């Protein structure tokens, strides 16, 4: 099974650049998009559908902001929107789908760079998700969490860790929450497969950062420990343009 995750930083802009042509040509079984910044009624029929795929949308209430969409070639047995918490569910950040052997979360995690209040909101979001995942693990479920985590976990995951120690996205308390997921039965699939490899998934549009290799790894696959032995590969497509993030693929048996 092939899953691709991509923060497209505006689905209408990505469509205008032809970026989604590339991703559908890879024929993923599931495509998880984040930061779509649009409601489906703002797209044409051609823009919001793709032959051979069904799609679930979870746009934010606020126009032009956040939002996620999941495309799948086989109908999931169950679809759930949000985290069952009104504090988080108006921002269009979560779609959970049930597949034969696992639950898949497509998530656009909050960004904490608009001030301390948003950092606390982000940490609370992590806590609510982990609460749900702990319960699911306790009931025997396997889980894959993918999307834009908006946090680089370890120094290897960004170009300039020392300069960013006080920057949201690399704050100790944010990194600690990513570690908590690993301590609660999850595996960072890419980093476990490639412990020393340096690749990034996001680059600021400023300072020609992408061309200069100044990036962060913000887009992850966290996989239940019991499921991880079936993960065959995680591929970061650094050269694929169309967003300030690049797509990331995971292949699982």
Q: Verify whether residue 148 is a known catalytic residue.
A: yes
**In contact, 247 and 6? CB cutoff 8 Å:** yes
Residue whose structure tokens are 């860790």? 161
Rg of the chain in Å (alpha carbons): 17
* Strand positions, DSSP E, 35-142: 54-58, 68-72, 78-81, 94-99, 102-108
Question: Of 148, 157, 188, 244, which residue is the catalytic one?
Answer: 148
Stated as kind and residue range, the H or E segment containing 145 is strand 143-148
Residue whose structure tokens are 């469509």? 15
Residue whose structure tokens are 């497969």? 193
What is the DSSP secondary-structure string of 233-247?
EEEE-TT--SSSB--
Sign of CA dihedral 177, 178, 179, 184: positive
**In contact, 129 and 89? CB cutoff 8 Å:** no
> Helix crossing, 172-183 with 116-138: angle to 10°?
0
Instruction: Give the active site residues.
Output: 148
């Amino acid at each position: 099974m092939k899953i691709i995750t991509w923060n497209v930083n505006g689905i209408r802009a990505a469509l205008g650049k032809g970026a989604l042509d590339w991703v559908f040509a890879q024929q993923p079984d599931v495509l998880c998009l984040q930061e779509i910044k649009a409601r489906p009624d703002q797209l044409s029929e051609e823009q919001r559908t793709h032959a051979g795929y069904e799609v679930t949308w979870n746009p934010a209430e606020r126009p032009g902001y956040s939002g996620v969409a999941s495309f799948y070639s086989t109908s999931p047995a169950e679809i759930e929107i949000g985290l069952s918490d009104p504090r988080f569910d108006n921002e269009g950040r979560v779609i959970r789908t049930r597949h034969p052997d696992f639950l898949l979360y497509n998530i656009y995690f909050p960004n904490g760079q608009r001030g301390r209040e948003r950092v606390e909101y982000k940490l609370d979001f992590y806590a609510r998700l982990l609460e749900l995942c702990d319960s699911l693990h306790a009931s025997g479920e396997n889980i894959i969490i993918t999307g834009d985590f908006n946090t680089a976990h370890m120094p290897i995951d960004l170009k300039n860790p020392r300069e960013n120690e006080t920057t949201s996205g690399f704050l100790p308390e944010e990194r600690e929450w990513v570690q908590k997921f690993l301590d609660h039965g999850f595996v960072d699939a890419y980093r476990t497969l490639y412990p020393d490899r340096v690749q990034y998934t996001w680059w600021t549009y400023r300072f020609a950062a992408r061309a200069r290799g100044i990036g962060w790894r913000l887009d992850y696959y966290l996989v239940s420990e019991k499921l991880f032995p079936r993960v065959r590969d995680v591929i970061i497509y650094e050269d694929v343009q169309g967003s300030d993030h690049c797509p990331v693929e995971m292949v699982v048996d």
